[in-house]
Each structure stands twice: as structure tokens, then as C-alpha cells.
Amino acid sequence: MTSFAHLAAGHGLRKLLRRIVRPAWLGTLRRTTPLSDNWGNDRGTPTDRYYIERFLDSHKRDIRGHALEVQDSTYSDRYGSEVKQVDVLDVLPTNPRVTIIADLSAADVIPSNSFDCFILTQTLQLIYDVRSAIAHSHRILRPGGVLLVTVPSVTRVGRESGTTGDYWRFTVESCSLLFGERFGAENVAVRSYGNVLSAIAFLAGMAQEELSRKELEFNDESFPLIIAVRALKR
């Protein structure tokens, strides 16, 4: 017992010394509420947008022909390459920009083989039947069409008004399996974006402008903020 007590005391001392040598200065983050309750929009640009836009910019050649986007056409307009037509998908008929009203998990109203590109950002976590949503996303693409998806790995729970809930968080592994089931593993590329600092900043409601480019660019696969998927329909 004495020997065990000495070992425990020594282990505790080593932990104390680590805290002294590497102190954690939380500063303005030592609080139980976020700095922003609006994803950081009221402080600047939400941190996750940095990675979403970086992903889309790297695949701008896929955004072409007849494109489909959720809620509005912002990313199709900004990153599109030779886009000829854009449709906007939403479950809410009150959206003035909507051209197709449908729930993606039950989207039989949308004809098959309709689109060359489908931009689906930060949406699948709001759909309970995510497998059906992926199946319809595959069905409505033309052969050779590309699905560009981002989903959260770390985020607050969405409490906005609307008809959807907030059901899922994702990993590289889960996305690889989910999209591989429908598109074929060889047609799916999945990667993560983010690190522990950007994840903390996003949860706290900090804006991306409050982090340096170097801090945002560092990627740590153990602490993903978002997961990005490019899926090709053969």
C-alpha cells in the first residue's frame, strides 16, 4: 500500500508539474456561454466557412453545366465554371430563391439524371434518413456528375426555426462508408479540415478573422471541424 501510495503521489506530482510548465490560459474563453450565439456571424465570418469555401474552390471545375444547390445559389455563382443553369433546392416553399421544393430524403419529385453538379454543404446533419438523402443525390446526378458535400464533425446544435432537426455528426470513416455504398468506394474522395484550435474557436463563436491563416491552414485529422466529400457518378 505504501509503495502504491508513493507511485500515485509521484504521478500526481508529474501532472501538476506539466500544468505549471504548460499553463492553460483560457482568457475570454473561460465562460459557460459562447462569445456568439449566431455561429460567429455577428463577429465576422463563421470559422467553418473558411474550410467549406477552400474545398469548393479546389473543385470549381466540377461546378458546371446544370447545377443544384441548397437554399440559394451563392456557391454556384461564386465558384462555378461554365455553369449554364442553377436550381435551388429547399424544403421550405417560403424561400424566395427556391426552384425545387423537396425533402432530399424523399425527393422522388426530382427527375433522375438531371444535374451535372450538386453542391450540398452543411445539410446532411439535418436529415434523419441520411442514406436515402445520399441515394437521391446519386440518382438525380447525370452520369459523370459530381456531388460536393461538406458535413460537420464538430459544431453546436442548431436551434433555428424550420421543419428540420439536427441529428448527426460525421467522421472521415463514416462518410467513406456512407457515400461508398452508393457511389462506389473508388469514386469517392473524403478528407477532413480543421484542428483543435479552429474547432474550439467555432464552438466558442469566434469568427475566422480572429485566427491567423497559419492557424486555420494547419490540419489535424484527429480534430476535424468539417468533413468534405467529392463523389462521382459513373
At 42-76, the pLDDT tens digits run 999 999 999 999 999 999 999 999 999 999 999 99
Phi, psi at 97, each rounded to 5°:
-95, -10
Instruction: With respect to residue 23, please indicate whether it lies within any of the assigned structural domains.
Output: no
Q: Cell triple for residue 117? A: 453538379
What's the pTM value of the predicted model, to 2 decimals?
Answer: 0.91
Burial (CB < 10 A; 0-12, 13-18, 19+), residue 16, is exposed
The residues of the chain scoring below 50 in pLDDT are 161
The whole-number pLDDT of residue 4 equals: 59
The whole-number pLDDT of residue 212 equals: 97
Instruction: With respect to residue 3, please indicate whether it lies within any of the assigned structural domains.
Output: no
**Structural domain boundaries, residue 62:** 28-232
The whole-number pLDDT of residue 3 equals: 65
The strand order across the sheet containing 65-70 reads 100-101, 83-90, 65-70, 115-121, 141-152, 226-232, 188-193
The tally of domains found in the chain comes to 1
Please give, one letter per residue, the 3-state secondary structure of 26-90.
CHHHCCCCCCCCCCCCCCCCEHHHHHHHHHHHHCHHHCCEEEEEECCCHHHHHHCCCEEEEEEEE
Instruction: With respect to residue 14, please indicate whether it lies within any of the assigned structural domains.
Output: no
The whole-number pLDDT of residue 7 equals: 57
User: CA angle 59-39-45, nearest 5°?
Assistant: 55
Residues 6+ positions from 145 with CB-CB distance below 8 Å = 115, 116, 117, 118, 232, 233
Nearest to 170 by CA among 156, 153, 188, 154: 153
The CATH number covering residue 158 comes to 3.40.50.150
Instruction: With respect to residue 1, please indicate whether it lies within any of the assigned structural domains.
Output: no
The whole-number pLDDT of residue 25 equals: 82
